[in-house]
Amino acid sequence: MGIDRNETINFHLHLLLKIKEIDQYPFTKLIIEKELTQEEYSRLMEWIDCLYQEFLTQTEEGFLDVTPLLIKFVGMLHFKLEPKQTIEALRKEGYYPSLMDAFLKLPVLRDT
């Protein structure tokens, strides 16, 4: 009458997500809640890092419109993740703050 190990792990994760301190890590919480795999998470972070490098290059060159980068971000984002929620969570957790701030200043995200 043994309990399935995955069921136990899922129960433990559910309990951990209720801990108040998890709110300090909204991106991590989002990844757990949306059940992204390690591979999906790694791919996402690699893509965001590439976008960030592109953002830095464009900023150096004086290019100020980040709309094309936002379009790339939304296009590569895992279907389980909502763009604005993900950007806000990344920003709050301290991932690529200058890029996330630039995204959040765009009217399309600011007005939603």
Q: What is residue 46's predicted lDDT score, i.e. its pLDDT?
A: 97
Task: Output the pLDDT for position 1.
Answer: 43
Residues 6+ apart with CB under 8 A from 33: 17
- Residue 112: the pLDDT is 63
CB 27 within 8 A of CB 93: yes
pTM across the whole model: 0.84
Q: Which regions in the chain score pLDDT beneath 70?
A: 1-3, 111-112
Residue with tokens 């830095």: 56
Q: Are 74 and 83 in contact (CB under 8 A)?
A: yes
On whether the CB atoms of residues 68 and 26 are closer than 8 A, the answer is: no
